[in-house]
Amino acid sequence: MKIIEETPTRLVIQQQPIRKWLSGGCLFIAGLSLLIYCIFFNFASVSLTCTRTSPNKINCELKRLSLLGRLGKIDKLNIFDPQQAQIITKSGSKGGKSYQVVITTPFGEFALLPYASYQANQNAAAEINNFIYSDKTSLFLRQNQREYLFYFSLCMLILTAFGAFVLSSPVSTCTFYKSLNQVFIERKGLFGEKIIKYSLLSILNFEIQEEQFKYKKLYRAVILLKFGQDIPINLEYTDENTVQYTVLRIRQFLKL
């Protein structure tokens, strides 16, 4: 919040919600980036097709699709001579666990989906191992995590929308006109603007309101009107010295 213009008849105070714009921008970019990754680049389903060409030779194709199916990202991997399928457990930073089927071959390891349920992974691993150790000539296995990705995408969409809402926080401009005997308060944001005005004669006093945030107290200036209404000059709370200085300058300008 700062004074951007002062003349003998006019005083203009403006606050740009920089902190909200920065936090909203970060939330918007993070949410949108994860949403795009989830829809276009993360795999929602896999299919495993295996053929036994001889008693000791198995060839498989692992096909992975994004949420958009054939319209999105498609990944095809050839797997030769699978030895076994096993379930690996991954622990998250907050103690959560996820499970994933990994197919072991002489040429490396090939993973299925990372967020399928333990039961689904257990069934998939058992089915693959039964095929490897049997005389069956073919195997087709499908696994998907569309439900997980749908809810994750929905959360990212909500995060993106919330970021856009915070990013649209309005600029507050308060103008005191001695010549018009009016005070105009304008809130102008991405979704429109709102202007309220009152007579200078209706101003009873000015008050500094405080709010306790996580690490410190922040403040804002408020116009007290004679008919009991409080009008914040700055919507966003800021440091005490800035608010005190602004209120002092307003009092000096209005000779209160």
Residues of the chain short of pLDDT 50, as ranges, are none
| Residue-level pLDDT at 95 | 67
d(CA 253, CA 1) in angstroms, rounded, equals 17
pLDDT at 69: 65
Q: Where in the chain is the domain with CATH 2.30.29?
A: 2-17+170-254
**Residue 166 · residue 190 · CB < 8 Å:** no
Give the model's pLDDT for residue 14.
93
Residue 238 in contact with residue 251, Cβ under 8 Å?
A: no
Cβ pair 185, 57 in contact under 8 A: no
Q: Domain 2-17+170-254: which topology? A: PH-domain like (2.30.29)
Tell me the whole-structure pTM to 2 decimals. Answer: 0.74
Closest CA to 49 of 169, 114, 158, 139: 139
- For residue 98, the model assigns a pLDDT of 82
For position 155, what pLDDT does the model report?
A: 94
Backbone angles phi, psi at 14, to 5 degrees: -135, 145
Neighbours of 110 (CB within 10 A): 19
